[in-house]
Structure 1
Amino acid sequence: MFSRRNLAALGAAAAVLPALHRPALAQASLPETPIRLIVPFPPGGPNDLIARLLAQKIGPLIKRNVVIENRSGAGGVVGTDAAAKAAPDGTTMVLTSAGAIAISPTLMPAMPFDVARDLAPLTLVALMPELLAVNPKLPVKTLAELIAYAKARPGEVNFASSGNGSMPHLAGESLRFATGVEIIHIPYRGAAPAVTDLMAGQVQMMFADMPALLSQVQAGALRPIALAGDARSPLLPEVPTLAEAGQPTVAPVNWYGLVVSAKTPAPIQALLQEAAAQALRDPELVAAYAGQGAKASPSSAEEFRRFIAEETRRWGEIGKRAGAKID
């Protein structure tokens, strides 16, 4: 698990970044063309929104238009691969995710790129704690009640996910391992159909990024049970964290980060990293991310590299124990 201590260290490092001397913004130069920011998911999702907000803030800092390009497929792998193979001149970045560069490499039989060899991490961008919600007809209101209900009905409670090997899938598996409940995984092709069936009662529970569930929770169509992360969300202040609810080892926090082709010259990597980190400290962007349940989380490239390695180890262990596979 990426520990609370490590998350705190990332936050502390981000806090001192404004005071550092940042020569790259003045010394490096980019081609006189728009910059592509690949979003490896369809328009309208959390990744897409986070990318568009970031693009608006980065553009003026590097004096280039930053254009969003949605290239979805294979849980973010297709779009991330496009960035890995793009011209290494700084004109293509990708806002990738935990699924594409920390989970898929351990569960997908044939990856089209090697994370360590083909990608250069720039900065962690946002942390997105997973929210656990249930169909409101389920007679439970707390995590303890949900666990007791599932234990009394082994194999009868289903949990939905946005696909095999996705963060919501492994979140459910981590809860299963921590509590010993026999709950059944039902994979869907994306979060939207999973949420639809959750509201209809075809499945009973689901972990997901908060934006995928928030409007349904606020409308009373779903009941929130617990939230991952170190603190409650101001969007749902009555919902306890998983740690508060008695499961501190169940900590599924999705995340998004900015990477480029590993062949990109170091000065250009530094320029893009510093611009992104500066954008991620913008109060307007921080507030916009918080409104979606995300936390702006700038980091150094090396901190992000270590973060990816630890997340790969963590989710790889859970995925292999669950027998998860990504086709």
Structure 2
Amino acid sequence: MPRLDRRTILLAGLASALGARPASAAFPERPIQLVVPFAPAGGTDIAARRLGETLSRGLGQSVIIDNRPGANGIVAGQVAVKAPADGHTLLVATAASFAAAPALGQKLPYDVGSDFVPVAMLGLFPLALNASPTLPVNSLAEFIAYAKQRPGQLNFASAGIGGTNHLVFEMIMQATGLKLAHVPYRGAGLAAADLMSGQVHVMIDSLAASLGNIQGGKLKALAVTTEGRQPQLPDLPTLKEQGVAVVYPGWASIVAPAGIAPETLRILNTAINAAMGDAELVARYRELVIEPVAWSPQETGAFMAGDRATLTDLVAKTGIKLTE
């Protein structure tokens, strides 16, 4: 039997130790943290919680909702971007923080296009064009005609400069040639209250927030901004159906810190998309007036990048500034 030198013995011991190591644990190894840039109880937060409940069953790990409101999503974004890129920390990205903010030139402590990786969609949030009940119009065509006959006399409300409802109405004005004065408020609720009382004339708002007032006759809904009609108001046509070439749903997606392993990304996307087909989740989303969508990371990323490009072009054409 040949003698074994010290080097051979050491190599054999190393090989034995490596062979004895357990295989890498399958993802997820521990609870998943889903960072939400809003306070609890809002529509996006509730949607995230509902998704988290369904995901936890599919992945076999708890999904912990971490509410980090503030600074138009920057507080939440900073929490997520600093986390390890192992799939255990995810962020709810919104149109406001991942499309409007960079389009408007807001200084962000991260790059939304390179510091995060799209995972899947949280959902689409239908918007509605609402008119005050005091306005003597009952359709989009009547409103456009009425406004064109009164240049400079009508206005539109928003929840603030550069917000989604501001930018979408700017899109409508670009598409129709209308020119209305912008009246920004500190929040959509205040703007909607003045819309119902006739202090302002029209407003883009989430269908979820305005549905009850539309159904109660306190607001006149002229159109929805989505590609198709919404089941909650099946008789309300889209902007596109009525000849205005604007399709813009509000949206929220799920992103992860850049550097996530492809297999981890695949597992997360598969689980989220499976959740989007869950009957209980679909029913809850329907109550919240959210449209579930099951898209790949590539489709999600293309949608987000396309929205940034659309809003960047809009800002360039209109000269909108956050300080106006």
Please classify the TM superposition score into its range, dividing by the shorter chain length: 0.7 to 0.9
Mapped contact 1:51–1:68 kept (Cα < 8 A): yes
2:248 is equivalent to residue 274 of structure 1: no
Deviations 1:41-93 (A, max 9, x none): 23332211221111111111122221222222233333233212223332221
Which sits farther off after the overlay, 41-50 or 134-143?
41-50
> Which runs of structure 2 are paired with 1:81-100 in the superposition (5 Å)?
81-100=78-97
Q: Which residue of 2 aligns with 1:28?
A: 26
Correspondence for 2:190 among 181, 188, 193:
193
AA paired with 1:261? P
Correspondence for 1:324 among 316, 320, 324:
320
2:251 is equivalent to residue 262 of structure 1: no
TM-score with structure 2 length normalisation?
Answer: 0.87
Q: Which residue of 2 aligns with 1:315?
A: 311
Correspondence for 1:157 among 151, 154, 158:
154
AA paired with 1:199? M
Distance 1:101 1:161 in 2: 19
Which sits farther off after the overlay, 168-177 or 290-299?
290-299
Correspondence for 2:181 among 180, 184, 188:
184
Mapped contact 1:106–1:312 kept (Cα < 8 A): yes
**What 5-or-longer segments of structure 2 have no aligned partner?**
1-23
* Residues 184 and 279 of structure 1: CA distance in aligned 2, closer, same or farther (over 3 Å): same
2:214 is equivalent to residue 217 of structure 1: yes
AA paired with 1:155? G
Mapped contact 2:156–2:203 kept (Cα < 8 A): yes
Distance 1:70 1:190 in 2: 19
Describe the SS at the equivalent of 1:116: coil
2:227 is equivalent to residue 230 of structure 1: yes
Mapped contact 1:107–1:320 kept (Cα < 8 A): no
Which sits farther off after the overlay, 132-141 or 281-290?
281-290
Q: Which residue of 2 aligns with 1:240?
A: 237
Displacement after TM superposition at 1:27 (Å): 7.4
TM-score with structure 1 length normalisation?
Answer: 0.86
Deviations 1:257-278 (A, max 9, x none): 1001113333322222221111
Displacement after TM superposition at 1:116 (Å): 2.2
Q: Which residue of 1 aligns with 2:11?
A: none
Describe the SS at the equivalent of 1:295: coil
Mapped contact 1:28–1:271 kept (Cα < 8 A): no
Distance 1:27 1:297 in 2: 30
Distance 1:294 1:225 in 2: 19
Deviations 1:188-235 (A, max 9, x none): 232222212222222111112211111111222111111112221121
Distance 2:213 2:141 in 1: 22
Deviations 1:166-207 (A, max 9, x none): 211111101111111111112223222221222222211111
2:71 is equivalent to residue 74 of structure 1: yes
Distance 2:211 2:87 in 1: 36
Correspondence for 2:35 among 15, 34, 38:
38
AA paired with 2:217? G
2:126 is equivalent to residue 124 of structure 1: no
Which sits farther off after the overlay, 295-304 or 261-270?
261-270
Deviations 1:272-320 (A, max 9, x none): 2221111111122122222332211111111111112211111211122
* Residues 184 and 27 of structure 1: CA distance in aligned 2, closer, same or farther (over 3 Å): farther
In the comparison of the two structures, how many residue pairs are matched? 300
AA paired with 1:29? F
Sequence identity percentage: 38
Correspondence for 1:51 among 48, 52, 67:
48
> Which runs of structure 2 are paired with 1:284-295 in the superposition (5 Å)?
284-295=280-291
In angstroms, what is the RMSD of aligned CA positions?
1.9
Deviations 1:104-127 (A, max 9, x none): 112133122102221011012312
